[in-house]
Structure 1
Amino acid sequence: MDFEKEIAKRRTFGIISHPDAGKTTLTEKLLLFGGAIQEAGAVKSNKIKKSATSDFMEIERQRGISVATSVLAFNYRDRKINILDTPGHKDFAEDTFRTLTAVDSVIVVIDVAKGVEEQTEKLVEVCRMRNIPMIVFINKLDREGKDAFDLLDEVEQKLGLTVTPLSFPIGMGYDFKGIYNIYEKNINLFSGNSKQHIEDTIAFDDLDSPELEGIIGESHAHNLREYLELAGAVYPEFNKKDYLDGSLQPVFFGSALNNFGVRELLDCFIEIAPTPRPKMAEERLVNSNESDFSGFVFKIHANMDPKHRDRLAFIKIVSGTFERNTPYLHVRQDKRIKFSSPNAFFAEKKEIVDISYPGDIVGLHDTGNFKIGDTLTNGEKLNYKGIPSFSPEHFRYINNADPMKAKQLNKGIDQLMDEGVAQLFTLELNGRKVIGTVGALQYEVIQYRLEHEYGAKCTYENFPVHKACWVDPEKENEEFAEFKRIKQKYLAKDKMGQLVFLADSAFSLQMTQQKYPTVKFRFTSEKES
């Protein structure tokens, strides 16, 4: 029975948005309400030396953006909550897409002034494809922004969602008075100086009462009644089953920076959000309440603690319990490994855990055994599906800027590529190394981390490539041999030793496909699931 209870307590979710919508700030405030931290760091200001709890990599503190997913866990009202704070910047979308395979639900953060932005559209599309339950949080209400109904329309049209507001703003910007919580039927008044503490809430279930005028003023009271009547007529009533099916998305309004509207979001979230969901493996559907352990690696991170050159593989537990010092089967390598110090996370703070349950994220010390997408089980041969690997869009030669540090450079490149930060190609012709990334900003991150974590310096040179195509020969025939001879200067091996054709233009790729019809090309490094 304890096992079932532990599963019922778990809520594992990701926070997604366009950069700068306030995602990391919201993560911090959820931790603040959960009692996990005592004081929030100022995320944006470089003058203030405190920085966001979830942005623990040095480069994130300097740039004021998140470049890697952080994992944070805390307890709130007898629930165990696991948050995955993802990067918003499109250059780090790969990390975010992979993280979405490990969450059971999602909170989408939208800036009240900017509305729905491009990166939000892409991420929500992935969630919709997977039917992940979503809650929308419209942030920064203390600033001037779009009308609440306009925003709700925009969310429906641009993101293709069916929304229902569970809270509603009273005024906005300089005129912002507070929020009426439709879900709990109360009013939360905004005082404007609430960054350090938590606002009081007034229970208020009778909107026709003349007391409302006394609390928020005559014109606001009139508008609120009118808006709520309109919202009740236009939007469907909240239904938990529709939300869990991914066909209805509740919307909350607030200001994360001012701690405002965050408690309402969190209280509703722990009630309605799903417990750990079943996950599809290539072999079968695995339910969270199965007694046999299984889990998969969705992220690898080197040097979380620069003092110890450690490398952690993040595992999402899908079923059963994961216990310390128990040997588990590494399915790809077909060997058993046991772990003496599995970690639970609070940003960069880690603590060793003896037992973990479905929904939990565990960090395992890794000496190079794991790849993203690997499965661990009690013994059953399972392979979890849908861990994406992208075809790079940018390519550059990487050169060693310090010949004395060749060993450190090679080790650094090797480990960073395992993290899925980028992909490494070694040219067949001359052995030169080419790094392919999804976004150009990745090169800065790689350069910075090589220098600060491995003591190695590198420079880049442009390498004009249109697309990386993984070569899938059906058989080694004459045509394939001719293809390899003619295209020799465009052929490389990836980190797994797979042959890759680096096409220099769309035309060249098209001509190659026509000339060598038996040579099959794939545009991701793994076979599509």
Structure 2
Amino acid sequence: MHFWKKKMRVIRNLIQQSCSQRNYSSLPGTSFKFYHSKGNVFALCRIRNIGIMAHIDAGKTTTTERMLYYSGYIRTLGDVDDGDTVTDFMVQERERGITIQSAAVTFDWKDYRINLVDTPGHVDFTVEVERCLRVLDGAVAVFDASAGVEAQTLTVWRQADKHQIPRICFLNKMDKNGASFTYAVESIKQKLKTKPLLLQLPIGEAKNFRGLVDVVTKERIVWKSTSGLDDGKIFEQKPLLEADDPSLFQEVQDARNTLIEQVADLDDEFAELVLGEYSENFDLLPADKLQSAIRRVTLAQKAVPVLCGSALKNKGVQPLLDAITAYLPAPNERSYEFLKWYNDDLCALAFKVLHDKCRGPLVFIRIYSGSVKPQSAVYNINRSCTERMSRLLLPFADQQIEIPSLMAGNIALTVGLKQSATGDTIVSSKASAVAAACRAGRDAGGERRRTSEVESLLLAGVEIPEPVFFCTIEPPSMAKQQDLDNALNCLQREDPSLKVKLDPDTGQMIWPCCLYEESCVF
């Protein structure tokens, strides 16, 4: 017991030193003791696994940075131009001011745990978005309010459609010259072929943007500069009265009536409520009834809620966080057919692999059922091998914290899985895989199949595009050949689309590259 307490003190000191160097708060949560046991604190219904996706320069990383700040995860605001944001931690990202690889962070907002992945917006790194969306339950699509839907927006939207992911739209940069709320909404409607639900209206646009009105609750939210350092934490929220601004009041009234009609057209339960009790006066409809209906419509992907703000000017991010918890799904609200085959045994997907010089392979996993603990053996169905998971970590961009266990619905980082690669399915044991295969076989019509054939049905890997061009690669000298081979082996584990082979005729090493692949960037 004395040894364990001493070890905890050492870990606590190291964490505090790391937090101080990175301008973090002590850590998300109120204390190390509380955080150390957080893997078991949050029920499934209070977990949100979300991604931030958009065209390049729409403001994804800045929006993420503000979320971390308002949640208490960091104590100072970073800036993309200054190269000091949490999720853009690579040297190349900070030099260029763009996101190159996805970064996962875990933080708490009010009574919810949010596992967030900030994804790249550049077309060259689309595969990063693909493998992240594969394991997420919801997404926030960020738009430049002056540009609306852009080329890469269409790409990531189609990827989200493929994985049937509910979304929220955030019209960012409302303070920018040329910003137009009306234009951006119309762009979403026409180009994305979806039904936008306006949950907010801006108060002013471009340089006059100062706040927003919540259409659901009819509350006015205004950010007022209180000092030279306006971090957006202080804002005024109060009911919108007709005496305050008659034209704005009428605009919000019309927008709310339109919203109620839209939702009623999409949700039968809500339509019965509106036509029965509130047909004479929509103003009497409680906000919570409307919010519940919007949530059902969003989860059914019949429409997308639209919010607005300016992350750079620290306006609109807190309501966005509230919308994430209110309208995007919890892990248990997503339908996964394969879960019934495991009967609460461990089932996880390795969706990303990184290599650390000291710790070796770091494997990101999404836990769909069961739980994981460090120093436990797991079975990789793809590789038909058993491995030992030596450590279990929660990711915070380039920082991690060790935890004793983690339940279903979460995203974790593991150490010790030396054979697992991107797209591999991880279960508790080979016996668990065989039992799941038998159940899947019975569900398929009672046909007897070989276990290997059924196991192939259980794999839910990451869809990777085929290579579109090839190049030869060679070391500067034969003395470096082994180092090159080791590096290429690591890259192939990280990226399934990279399959290096030796040409038997020429003896050259052939490197196939995808059009959208980060490994091709030097």
**Shared fold, TM over 0.5:** yes
Question: How far 1:17 moved relative to its partner?
Answer: 0.5
Give runs of aligned pairs for residues 91-170 of structure 1, distance below 5 A: 91-170=124-203
Q: Are 1:436 and 2:512 matched, yes or no?
A: yes
| Matching residue of 1:258 | 313
CA deviation after TM superposition for structure 1 residue 200, in Å: 1.1
What's 1:464 paired with?
A: none
Query: Is 1:352 the equivalent of 2:402?
Result: yes
* 1:410 maps to 2:463: no
The farther-off stretch of 51-60 and 268-277 is: 268-277
**CA shift at 1:179, angstroms?**
0.8
- Provide the secondary structure at the position in 2 that maps to 1:370: coil
Q: Does the Cα contact within 8 Å between 1:33 and 1:263 map onto a contact in 2?
A: yes
Deviation at 1:439, TM superposition (A): 3.3
State the match for 1:501 in structure 2: none
Q: CA deviation at 1:195?
A: 5.0
Map 1:227-306; keep pairs closer than 5 Å: 229-230=254-255, 232-233=257-258, 236-237=262-263, 239-277=294-332, 284-286=337-339, 290-303=343-356
Report the counterpart of residue 20 of structure 1 in structure 2.
57
Q: Which residue of 1 aligns with 2:422?
A: 372
Kept in 1: contact 2:53–2:142 (CA 8 A): yes
Shift of residue 183, structure 1, vs aligned partner: 3.5
Match of 1:456 in 2: none
Residue 276 (structure 2) pairs with residue 222 (structure 1): no
Secondary structure of residue in 1 paired with 2:106: strand
| AA partner of residue 418 (structure 1) | R
> 1:311, 1:366 within 8 Å by CA — same for their partners in 2?
yes
The one-character-per-residue Cα deviations of 1:247-288 (angstroms, maximum 9, x if unpaired) are 11101101111221000010121122211147787xx53169
Point out where structure 2 has 5 or more consecutive residues left out of the alignment.
1-38, 264-292, 434-454
1:331 pairs with 346, 367, 381, which one?
Answer: 381
The corresponding residue for 2:74 is 37
Whole-angstrom CA distance in 2 between matches of 1:291 and 1:183: 39
The answer on whether the counterparts of 2:139 and 2:166 sit within 8 Å (CA) in structure 1 is: yes
Cα distance in 1 for partners of 2:343, 2:238 equals 42
Cα distance in 1, alignment partners of residues 154 and 484 from structure 2: 37
Q: Is 1:362 aligned to residue 403 of structure 2?
A: no
Amino acid across the alignment from 1:286: L
Contact 1:195 1:257 survives alignment (8 Å): no
Whole-Å Cα distance in 2 between the matches of residues 243 and 164 of structure 1? Answer: 9
- Distance in 2 (alpha carbons) for counterparts of 1:73 and 1:288: 29
The answer as to whether partners of 2:86 and 2:397 remain within 8 angstroms in 1 is yes
> Which of the two has greater helix per residue?
2
Q: 2:109: which partner in 1?
A: 76
Equivalent AA in structure 2 for residue 374 of structure 1: D
How many residues are paired up?
426
The one-letter amino acid paired with 1:113 is S
**Is the CA contact 2:348–2:367 (under 8 Å) kept in the aligned structure 1?**
yes
SS in 1 for 2:65: helix
Larger mean Cα displacement after TM superposition, 192-201 or 102-111:
192-201
Corresponding residue SS for 1:259: coil
State the distance in 2 between where 1:199 and 1:274 align: 29
User: Whole-Å Cα distance in 2 between the matches of residues 57 and 4 of structure 1?
Assistant: 32
Q: Deviations over 1:464-484 (max 9, x none)?
A: xxxxxxxxxxxxxxxxxxxxx
Question: What one-letter code is carried by the residue in structure 2 that aligns with 1:97?
Answer: E
Aligned-pair distance for 1:400? Answer: 1.9
Partners of 1:107 and 1:288 lie apart in 2 by 31
CA contact (8 A) 1:41 1:51 kept: yes
SS of structure 2 residue aligned to 1:127: helix
1:172 to 171, 188, 205: 205
> Aligned ranges for residues 203-218 of structure 1 at < 5 Å?
203-204=238-239, 206-208=240-242, 210=243, 212-213=244-245
Contact 2:422–2:493 (8 Å) recurs in 1: yes
**1:41-56 residue pairs with structure 2 within 5 A?**
41-43=78-80, 45=81, 48=82, 50-56=83-89
Tell me the secondary structure at the aligned position of residue 95 of structure 2. Answer: helix
User: Does structure 1 residue 389 correspond to structure 2 residue 464?
Assistant: yes
Q: 2-side partners of 1:326 and 1:443: how far apart? A: 32
Give 1:228 shift: 5.1
Cα distance in 2 between the residues matched to 1:268 and 1:394:
43
Q: Give the equivalent residue in structure 1 for 2:276.
A: none
Output the amino acid matched with 2:347: S
Q: Give the drift of 1:444.
A: 5.8
Task: Give me the CA root mean square deviation.
Answer: 2.6
| Secondary structure in 2 matching 1:201 | strand
Distance 2:416 2:190 in 1: 44
Partner of 1:64 in structure 2? 97
User: In structure 2, do the counterparts of structure 1 residues 378 and 444 end up closer, same or farther at CA, with 3 Å as the change threshold?
Assistant: closer
CA distance in 1, matches of 2:323, 2:472: 50
When normalised by structure 2's length, the TM-score is: 0.76
Q: Which residue is 1:8 aligned to? A: 45
